[in-house]
């Protein structure tokens, strides 16, 4: 994807074995037969070691990437549990992060997988899951990934009291104990977990932090800080006079690690095609122009690996209106910025001399009072 922390540079693979393809074909067919409201896809070309639940407009899907699907450490039990966990993000009832209320949080997805999903799968297809085998295989995989730091990112300790799903050790113990889950509609502690991507099984580091910081900034009440700034100063942050990498710096929408920051600035300023930059600006400026939030409640952000696109572009494309989720109760809209990435390789480091932080844009106005910084 962008920083590809959930990818080995040269991942081992069983892609050459016909038996593995047959196993995956049978698994996906069983899941499609059992959970008919979800679209299941395998991106076999990708080396990403992960799976991902996505809500794109009205479509609900689960994507399994080739790095995970063909990994020799994983057998049918681990892959089945992974798919059940991703399906649980869509179908489980319970806690959700405030910025993504259509996907259940990690602990709820795990609980649904072992208490409901596995029963439905067995009833419909006869497929059984040996949970201990699945967890043992996933533990071997997680231990093998170089980026894995057991819920720490850039050496920052996980805050006390964070949900047990933020650490593999506590997560494994809780799954085997039946997955006790919190009460309430929104997961308040999840906002502190920095290394886990909502809707994916394996931690994804800087990709996650960027998306979460953008989600934080463009959801209520933080998006209203940007709207008030525009009303007060008449500075339109996403017009043609502004650069995305500079605005991202000003609104604290960057990873905390220094090297990843520089790569992020370089992507926004040099690697994104002009049409993709313009499409992102259009969506975000339209959201800020809705001064009172009468139509656009928030904007959410995600990245997908899609080997079918020639270069970075939005979903469904740069020219179309954004994907929209409409709240059935309020009628307000969530606009989705979903960046499709053509390669599953690391972003390149910028050339020497690339400004860090980015140079100011002409006509910048100070934000008063200062923006609320993200807590993660």
For the cut 60, the answer to whether the pLDDT of residue 36 exceeds it is yes
**Lowest mean per-residue pLDDT among 32-46, 84-98, 233-247:** 84-98
* 200: pLDDT strictly greater than 60: yes
Tokens linked to 107: 């602990």
Residue 148: what pLDDT?
46
Q: What does the pLDDT read at residue 9?
A: 55
Q: Which residues pair with 156 in a beta bridge?
A: 153
C-alpha dist (Å) from residue 370 to 226, 359, 366: 10, 19, 8
Find out whether the peptide bond into 231 is cis, omega within 30 degrees of 0: no
Q: What is the pLDDT of residue 170?
A: 83
pLDDT for 174 equals 87
* Average pLDDT over every residue of 283-300: 97
Q: Which residues of 131-162 are buried (b: 16+ CB within 10 A; e: fewer)?
A: eeebbbbbeebbeebebbeebebeeeebeeeb
Residue 165 pLDDT level (bands cut at 50, 70, 90):
low
* Residue 277 confidence (pLDDT): 98
pLDDT at 149 over 50: no
Q: 110-114, 191-195, 242-246: which has the minimum mean pLDDT?
A: 191-195
Report the DSSP pairing between strands 323-326 and 313-314. Answer: unpaired
What is the model's pLDDT at position 162? 56
Contact (Cβ atoms closer than 8 angstroms) between residue 43 and residue 66: yes
Dihedral (C-alpha) 6, 102, 315, 42: value to the nearest 10 degrees?
A: 50
Between CA 324 and CA 315 the distance in angstroms is: 11
**pLDDT tens-digit readout, 57-77:** 989 999 999 999 999 999 999
Q: According to the model, what pLDDT value does residue 280 have?
A: 98
Mean pLDDT of 214-231: 95
Tell me which of 50 and 21 has the higher pLDDT.
21
pLDDT of residue 122 exceeding 70: yes
According to the model, what pLDDT value does residue 171 have? 85
- Using the predicted structure, report yes or no on whether residue 203 has a pLDDT greater than 80: no
Which tops the pLDDT comparison, 373 or 281?
Answer: 281
pLDDT of residue 127: 97
pLDDT level of residue 343 (50, 70, 90 thresholds): confident
115 DSSP 8-state letter: I
**Would the pLDDT of 32 be above 90?**
yes
Q: What is the pLDDT of residue 158?
A: 43
> How much is the pLDDT for 155?
37
Q: What is the pTM of this model?
A: 0.83
**pLDDT digit string (tens) for 181-196?**
655 555 554 444 444 4
3-state helix, strand, coil split of the chain in percent (to 5) is 40, 15, 50
Mean pLDDT computed over 100-115: 89
On the question of pLDDT at 244 being above 60, the answer is: yes
> Cα–chain-centroid distance for residue 48?
13
Query: What is the per-residue pLDDT for 4?
Result: 52
Mean pLDDT of 79-85: 97
Between 200 and 297, the more confident residue is: 297
């Amino acid at each position: 994807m962008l920083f590809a922390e959930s990818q080995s540079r040269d991942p081992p693979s069983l892609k050459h074995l016909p038996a593995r393809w047959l196993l995956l074909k049978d698994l996906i067919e069983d899941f499609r037969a059992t959970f008919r409201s979800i679209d299941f896809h395998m991106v076999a070309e990708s080396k990403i070691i992960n799976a991902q639940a996505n809500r794109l407009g009205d479509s609900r899907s689960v994507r399994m990437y080739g790095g995970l699907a063909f990994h020799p450490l994983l057998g049918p039990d681990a892959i089945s549990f992974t798919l059940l966990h991703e399906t649980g993000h869509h179908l489980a009832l319970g806690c959700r992060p405030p910025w993504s209320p259509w996907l259940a949080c990690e602990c709820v997805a795990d609980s649904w997988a072992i208490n409901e999903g596995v029963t439905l799968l067995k009833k419909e297809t006869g497929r059984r899951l040996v949970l201990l085998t699945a967890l043992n295989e996933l533990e071997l995989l997680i231990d093998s990934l170089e980026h894995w730091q057991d819920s720490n990112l850039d050496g920052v300790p996980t805050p006390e009291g964070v949900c047990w799903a933020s650490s593999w050790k506590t997560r494994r113990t809780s799954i085997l104990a039946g997955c006790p889950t919190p009460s309430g509609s929104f997961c308040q502690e999840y906002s502190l977990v920095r290394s886990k991507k909502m809707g994916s099984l394996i931690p994804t580091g800087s990709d996650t932090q960027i998306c979460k910081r953008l989600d934080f900034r463009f959801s209520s009440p933080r998006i209203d800080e940007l709207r008030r700034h525009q009303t007060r100063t008449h500075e339109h942050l996403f017009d043609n006079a502004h650069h995305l990498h500079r605005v991202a710096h000003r609104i604290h929408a960057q990873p905390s690690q220094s090297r990843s920051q520089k790569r992020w600035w370089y992507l926004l300023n040099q690697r994104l095609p002009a049409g993709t930059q313009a499409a992102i600006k259009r969506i975000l400026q339209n959201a800020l122009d809705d001064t009172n939030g009468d139509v656009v409640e928030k904007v959410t952000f995600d990245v997908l690996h899609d080997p079918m696109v020639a270069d970075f572009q939005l979903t469904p494309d740069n020219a179309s209106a954004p994907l929209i989720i409409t709240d059935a109760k309020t009628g307000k809209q969530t606009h989705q910025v979903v960046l499709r990435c053509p390669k599953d390789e690391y972003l390149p480091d910028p050339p020497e001399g690339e400004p860090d932080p980015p140079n100011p844009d002409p006509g910048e106005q100070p934000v008063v009072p200062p923006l609320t910084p993200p807590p993660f």
